[in-house]
Structure 1
Amino acid sequence: MDLSADDHAFFARLLEQRTGQQLQPGRRWRLDTALQAVLKSHAIEDVPALVRRLRMGDPVLAEAVAWALLNHETFFFRDQPAFTQLVTAGLPALRELRAAQRRLRIWSAGCSTGQEPYSLAFAFAREPKVWEGWQIDIVATDISPLAIERARAGLYTQFEAQRGLPVQELVTLFEPAGDSWRVCDRMRHKVRFSRHSLFDAPPPGGPFDLVLCRNVLFYFAPDRRRAVFANIASAMAPDGRLMLGAAETVIGQTDDFAVDPEQRGLYRRRDGAEPAMARVA
């Protein structure tokens, strides 16, 4: 498929308008493959015909294109060392902070197809005695309704289910579903999924003690990134913690957060101040 510069610009604008993400040069190689899949699934002849339909206003098709252009790379317990650090050090620190309330509120922001919030649910399930008597609220959101639909169903291919999980947990936390695997009901019910834009007011369920927003922010322009940081900070408890992706940082990106000096890989709201929520149109 030979796409012109105008074609690239058109689809880049569509992606940014619908998700806030930029179609960076390193992701443009996916454009041909992604659009071929959309053309086939919607029985559209070629890219010019696709563009014509999109210009006429077809929200279902626009959502399909945006979904195809997003990076869906995710798996259970992604970035294992960082996740291990969170489970062995970050969560115990929060447990001490919330010992009186015996409740944790967690937000998985940009959860894609659900592997991250389910990983959190699995982590708590691994230590039933430690968390006995605690109320653990896990809210998971994503801009894509297609991603949320998949996440809520908890249905994964054999390959997806095996990525990051030991075989024993695949057997105990999932149930066979034809050629796929479905997260068992008791685990699925521990996560509340909803569609949400990071540029909108935070989802219900806060203030959050822990927010995970991993491998999302580096796709945003700097001004949008700052707005998302401000919105996340407004949703957190003053002593809450933020976890980003391995290649992301708050340094030079926002004044709302600072590195947590006690927990490697986590961030705190700067001075525990109440930040003003920011929005980007």
Structure 2
Amino acid sequence: MIINRQPTAQTGAMSVLAALLESRTGQQIAANRAWRIETALKPVLKARGHETLDQLVAELLDDQTGIIADMIVDALLNQESSFFRDGQILDTVVAAINARETPGSRRLRIWSAACSNGQEPLSLAMLFADRFERTGMAEPEILATDVSEAAIQRARAARFSQFEIQRGLPVRQMIKWFDAVGSDWIANPDLVRKITFRRHNLVGDPPPCGRFDVVLCRNVLFYLSPTLRKRVFDLLAEVMRPGGLLVLGAGETVAGQTCAFIPSPDYRGLYERVVTPASAIETAAA
């Protein structure tokens, strides 16, 4: 990233920091939410021994390692998440997978994009593990990605505070899948192994390999410009099987954004990958 080393009154420290976030992730911070920059960066200011954002930006501009930029971007990303968030949607995902599985069929695939610290893919893994115990139906392959390497490391470690563990996680699941270690809770390795965690930038990296039956990409697109949003929709369409299902956040939609997806006629709140003649041939050959 090229950063203006002589910020003017118009650019300022906040503008430099917002530009860094956008260049790395495509995410924009609206002018009326600029206050969030200072709030989110308070821990970084303290850790670096600074009192102002101007001092932090000065260190950023002199840093040749990229460490400071990584710290800033990780702090500015909205990693808000919880276990079984919007549980009805996750139940719908399970129902959709159930409907698509047949005896002897291939293993189905789910991509949890922008997975934050791992609560979403871990919730899915618990649901499908419970289903396997009840029915013997195979568990789908789950890929979980995030633009933040720090978030992915946390997700792999699957270590959560008491506050995080109480947000949405039923007591039965907590006892079954988590062990108390000091004041934290750590997920059973058998649960974590059901998920492949990987760093991935939705607006800058090539798409993951293979095709997915369900993609969850919740509460990410509304931070992007219309141009980048279209690019991400194209990427998601590229990696999904025709008729595959896309899960967006409650405040997001495909309407007016892309022609690759339509509201699912079968699953309320989900979107379906449009089947084109070319994709139909691809499905028949798969």
Q: What's the secondary structure of 1:254's corresponding residue?
A: coil
Aligned residue for 2:158?
154
1:274: how far off?
A: 5.9
Which residue of the partner structure matches residue 242 of structure 1?
246
Output the amino acid matched with 1:142. Answer: D
What root-mean-square deviation, in Å, do the aligned CA atoms of Structure 1 and Structure 2 show?
1.9
Question: Which amino acid letter does the alignment assign opposite residue 81 of structure 2?
Answer: T
Partner of 1:278: none
Find the counterpart in structure 2 of residue 202 from structure 1: 207
Once the two structures are superposed, residues 179-199 of structure 1 have per-residue CA deviations (whole angstroms, 9 ceiling, x without a partner) of: 100111110000110100112
Q: Which residue of 1 aligns with 2:34?
A: 28
Deviation, structure 1 residue 133: 5.2
Which of 171, 177, 195 is 1:173 aligned to?
177
Opposite residue 155 of structure 1, the aligned amino acid is: R
Q: Structure 2 matches for 1:1-281, cutoff 5 A?
A: 6-25=12-31, 27-57=33-63, 58-87=65-94, 89-96=95-102, 99-129=103-133, 132=136, 134-199=138-203, 200-204=205-209, 206-272=210-276
Within 1, Cα distance between the matches of 2:52 and 2:278? 51
Q: For residues 102 and 17 of structure 1, do their structure 2 counterparts lie closer, same or farther at Cα, with a shift above 3 Å needed?
A: same
Taking structure 2 as the reference length, the TM-score comes to: 0.88
1:12-54 CA-partner distances (Å, limit 9, x unpaired): 1011011110012454232222222111112235322211121
The answer (yes or no) to whether the contact 2:121–2:144 under 8 Å persists in 1 is yes
Distance verdict in 2 for CA 1:238–1:62, change over 3 Å: same
- CA shift for structure 1 position 265: 1.4
- CA gap 1:128/1:14 in 2 versus in 1, 3 angstroms: same
Indicate how the Cα distance of structure 1 residues 131 and 111 shifts in structure 2: closer, same or farther if over 3 A, else same: farther
Deviates more, 1:44-53 or 1:259-268: 44-53
Counterparts of 1:60 and 1:137, CA distance in 2: 33
Unmatched segments (≥5 aa) in structure 1: 276-281
Q: Distance in 2 between matches of 1:117 and 1:211?
A: 11
TM-score where L is the length of structure 1: 0.89
Partner of 1:74: helix, strand, or coil?
Answer: coil
Provide the rounded CA distance (Å) in 1 between the counterparts of 2:70 and 2:120.
Answer: 23
Distance of aligned partners of 1:16 and 1:131 in 2 relative to their CA distance in 1, 3 Å threshold: farther
Deviates more, 1:29-38 or 1:169-178: 29-38
1:8/1:127 Cα in 2 relative to 1: closer, same or farther (>3 Å)? same
Q: How far apart, CA to CA, are the structure 2 residues paired with 1:155 and 1:26?
A: 34
Whether contact under 8 Å (2:90, 2:124) holds in the other structure is no
Corresponding residue for 2:282? none
- How many corresponding residue pairs? 268
* Stretches (4+) displaced over 3 A: 272-275
